[in-house]
Homo-oligomer: A and B are copies of this chain.
Amino acid sequence: MKNPLGMAVLGLLLESPLHPHAMAATLRERGMDRSFKVTTGSLYDVVRALMREGWIEARETVKVGARPERTIYGLTAAGREEFTRWVDRLVREPQAEFPKFLSAVSYLGALGPSGAAEALRERAERLRASLEEMRGSHRAALEQVPRLFVVEVEYAVRLAEAELEWVEEIVGDVESGRLAWPEGER
């Protein structure tokens, strides 16, 4: 059980039992799909895995009309514990991750000075847009709920700001020659 979506499910069930479709809907309504990759396919796999581990259990299976049955899952005591442990571990232990941009930057040389500068300028543009959007939704959310429930947006904003600054600096460095292409690389 590695998928963080599992943690999100446990977190939701802490409030009340739900069926998978409702979990996905709730996560999306609350904008949690910015922090978790919510895909229906994976959701059902994850729920099955949580069952295997004994962290959730089927509470009832309801049939409304001729629609597919809805199985409603609830947290077990073990699940409640696991949730906290899970959050704690992810907070405590930084994990080696591999954002795609990091990969790309490793081969920035391949674009040549002007190509690199141009591509980076476009990234900067897009980053500014998405930052604007995040800041907006953060402001909006703060009027509805306590800050504790939106700290993750503050974190995302901070990282995006740092990335944007770095990208802008590198564009400057390329243009000024502070970041030079060695002979033979274009």
A163 contacts B170, CB within 8 Å?
A: no
Q: Which residues of A contact B (CB under 8 A)?
A: 4, 7-8, 11, 14, 32, 34-37, 83-84, 87-88, 90-111, 115-116, 119-120, 122-123, 126-127, 130, 146-149, 151-152, 154-156, 158-159, 161-163, 165-166, 170, 179-182, 185
Query: What secondary structure prevails in chain A residues at the interface with B?
Result: helix
Is the Cβ of B170 less than 8 Å from the Cβ of A106? Answer: no
Contact yes or no, A155 B105, CB < 8 A: yes
Tally of this chain's copies: 2
Q: Which residues of B contact A110 (CB under 8 A)?
A: 11, 14, 83-84, 87
| Cβ-defined contact, A91 with B109, below 8 A | no
* Contact present for B108 and A151 (CB under 8 Å): yes
Determine how close the nearest CB of chain B comes to the CB of A84; give it in whole angstroms: 6
